Amino acid sequence: MDKLIITGGTQLSGELRIAGAKNAALPILAAALLSEEPVTIGNIPHLHDITTTMQLLGQMGVRLTIDEKMNIEVDCCEINKFEAPYELVKTMRASILVLGPLLARYGQACVSLPGGCAIGTRPVDIHLDALLKMGAEIKVEGGYIHAKASRLKGCKLVLEKVTVTGTENLLMAAVLAEGTTIIENAAKEPEVSDLAHFLNAMGAKITGIDTGVLVIEGVEKLGKKDLYYKILPDRIETGTYLVAAAITRGKIKVKDVRPATLDAVLDKLTEAGAEITIGEDWIELDMHGRRPKAVNIRTAPYPAFPTDMQAQFTAMNAVADGVGVITETVFENRFMHVQEMQRMGANIQLESNTAICTGQKKLTGAPVMATDLRASASLVLAGLVAEGDTLVDRIYHIDRGYDHIEEKLAQMGATIRRIPR
């Protein structure tokens, strides 16, 4: 298993281009199943989860053509299998996103239950309850969701919790349903909106985008000739590199970004003492060589502070000036990075879903282990500022969500390299 070794102590500086959003690319590739015409999707990030999604679609009979600019043409004209097998779903929970489109267009789906993961049980009950309400027949047997529907029927859905992939699955189910569907308490994450814009570009009729109440008027079919759709920039990758600069007291400029999707994160970086300058598609962060100040964080659905940035800010609070309190309200077990940071000398007390971080002047490099995508990124950030070497193991988690992380950090001055297994 590959490892990353980081020697801390360098202030990051330089410029960086940000890739397309993983959490928009995954639902949009799944949504291509709805299209009667081949569709080309651009700005796809070069990530393991994208490879997994291409395997998932390919084994259904979808024809995928990828070019050197990471544009993917998706042609669903010869689908002959409507299944998402456990072997693929166990490596990527987001495979559940094929359920909605398969049901909507082909009236059948057999999708492995995603199961839990390190950060929580992650049920899909809200997805299934809503599809049942839309007239699907669903049987959960042998670890698989067996679903079928002659034609889904539009109805009013009030989601009991804000769920990102739940909203996305139901959006994709509703676009070809008979009649109108209203989704209340819908997720407002920018990736959900990007999916809605993609569906509308294919001919869907979705209104209320970004409002939390989505209204979808079902149509007979979807697909536009020669459609090209560019994925929005990854706000979590953007935030992660901005924290990398803040934690090392450096100065960086990130380009090809969408600043308006990061308001809550930029507010907290400013509170931590960063000087933030924003352009149309770029953000510059300058710490002027100063140690970050501790900040209090409470994660919640968009537009509040994103749970996917919580681990990164825990790392920053670990070396910040003062005490920062971080409360995780979205997932029940998303502090696994804490015990690894404690081994590096961090002073963090866990009390239920809250981490009380008393900033230390320094951390000491150590061998640490990644447990999930964002926790692994946070350990790299801690290694950037720790004295000595930090060896991050199980970095396949990182490769799922960060495209060439060591190259991007090294080009900004970090001492980091990958040790192949």
Contacting positions for ligand EPZ (CB under 6 A): 23, 26, 94, 120, 122-127, 161, 163-166, 307-308, 330-331, 373-374, 401
DSSP for 81-115, written as a single string: --EE-HHHHTT-GGGGGGHHHHHHHHSEEEEE---
Q: Which is nearer to ligand EPZ, 121 or 277 (CB)?
A: 121
Q: Which is nearer to ligand EPZ, 11 or 95 (CB)?
A: 95
With CA atoms as reference, report the closest residue to 304 among 214, 171, 187. Answer: 187
Q: Which is nearer to ligand EPZ, 308 or 406 (CB)?
A: 308
**Shortest Å distance, C-beta 269 to ligand EPZ:** 19
**Shortest Å distance, C-beta 403 to ligand EPZ:** 13
How far is 161 from 123, CA to CA, in rounded Å?
A: 12
Q: Which is nearer to ligand EPZ, 126 or 254 (CB)?
A: 126
How far is 371 from 161, CA to CA, in rounded Å?
A: 25
**Shortest Å distance, C-beta 53 to ligand EPZ:** 10
Residue 178: DSSP 8-state: B
Answer left, alpha or beta for residue 32, where phi above 0 means left and psi between -120 and 50 means alpha: alpha
**Shortest Å distance, C-beta 155 to ligand EPZ:** 17
Q: Which is nearer to ligand EPZ, 127 or 408 (CB)?
A: 127
Q: Which is nearer to ligand EPZ, 306 or 345 (CB)?
A: 306
Q: Which is nearer to ligand EPZ, 84 or 287 (CB)?
A: 84
Question: Which residues are paired to 275 by β-bridges?
Answer: 286
Tell me if 163 sits within 8 A of 151, measured CB to CB.
no
Answer left, alpha or beta for residue 142, where phi above 0 means left and psi between -120 and 50 means alpha: left
**Shortest Å distance, C-beta 262 to ligand EPZ:** 14
**Shortest Å distance, C-beta 401 to ligand EPZ:** 6
CA angle 81, 85, 89 (to 5 degrees): 130
Question: Which residues are paired to 255 by β-bridges?
Answer: 17, 282
Tell me if 6 sits within 8 A of 366, measured CB to CB.
no
Residue 335: DSSP 8-state: -
**Shortest Å distance, C-beta 191 to ligand EPZ:** 6
**Shortest Å distance, C-beta 312 to ligand EPZ:** 11
For residue 221, the SS3 value is: coil
Number of H helices, E strands in the chain: 14, 24
Catalytic residue list: 117
Residue 361: DSSP 8-state: S
How far is 233 from 215, CA to CA, in rounded Å?
A: 25
Q: Which is nearer to ligand EPZ, 166 or 365 (CB)?
A: 166
In angstroms, the Cα distances linking 246 to 105, 192, 298, 355 are 47, 29, 19, 20
Say if residue 156 is exposed, middle or buried (CB neighbours under 10 Å; 0-12, 13-18, 19+): exposed
Name the pairing type of β-strands 251-255 and 13-17.
parallel
Q: Which residue has the tokens 């964080």?
A: 297
Q: Which regions of 260-362 does DSSP assign to beta strands (E)?
A: 275-278, 282-286, 297-298, 323-327, 347-351, 354-358
Helix (H) or strand (E) holding 63: strand 63-66
